[in-house]
């Protein structure tokens, strides 16, 4: 696939804008991994995506519920958080694999806690705290992921760019 793209996110507004940039390319079946330390902005990015799709309800991290379901713009978006898993088999025990059948968009925080049972990511977004802000590194893992990245509202970038505020 293409080279990873990187974007500097100066603040929360830029992180929301990154999420919003992906709204135009959401389609059933996409699996998007969201990686980053606690407080890196994973849920903020999801909030930006949901707001751009027209969801004005609360957007919280599903750390305790494991999944938050958002139905918006004719899409089912499943927001997962596997931070609390101690073993990958807890993913299977929870019966969450049924969400990954292609009927919705799966946004997965802490995917490494459920490996090797998760399907591969179409897009993998890594958020890294960098002193004055964050850097988002976006990797494509499939043809649908490449189409999404190509059709998103992200500025063109080959190695790095600054995402403007929304």
Q: What are phi and psi of 127, to 5 degrees?
A: -105, 130
Spell out the domain ranges in the chain: 5-162
C-alpha span between 21 and 87 (Å, rounded): 34
| Per-residue confidence (pLDDT) for residue 26, from 0 to 100 | 95
| Per-residue confidence (pLDDT) for residue 1, from 0 to 100 | 53
The Cβ of residue 118 has, within 10 Å, a number of other Cβ atoms equal to 21
> What CATH number is given for 5-162 in this structure?
3.40.50.300
pLDDT tens per residue, range 52-88: 999 988 888 877 788 999 999 899 999 999 999 999 9
Task: DSSP for 99-158, please give it.
Answer: GGSSSSEEEEESGGGSTTSSPPPSEEEEEEEETTEEEEEEEE-SHHHHHHHHHSSPPP-S
Specify the 3-state DSSP secondary structure of 129: strand
The pTM assigned to this predicted structure is 0.90
């Amino acid at each position: 696939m293409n080279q990873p793209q990187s974007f500097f996110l100066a603040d929360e507004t830029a992180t929301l804008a990154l999420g919003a940039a992906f709204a135009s390319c959401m389609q059933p079946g996409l699996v998007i991994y969201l990686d980053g330390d606690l407080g890196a902005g994973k849920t903020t990015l999801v909030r930006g995506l949901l707001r751009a799709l027209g969801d004005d309800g609360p957007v919280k991290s599903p750390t305790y519920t494991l999944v938050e379901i958002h139905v918006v713009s004719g899409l089912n978006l499943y927001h997962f958080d596997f931070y609390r898993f101690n073993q990958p088999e807890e993913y299977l025990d929870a019966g969450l694999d049924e969400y990954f059948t292609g009927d919705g968009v799966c946004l997965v925080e802490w995917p490494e806690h459920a490996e090797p049972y998760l399907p591969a990511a179409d897009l993998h977004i890594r958020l890294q705290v960098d002193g004055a802000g964050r850097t988002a590194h976006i990797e494509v893992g499939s043809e649908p992921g490449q189409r999404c990245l190509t059709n998103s509202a992200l500025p063109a970038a080959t190695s790095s760019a600054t995402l403007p505020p929304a």
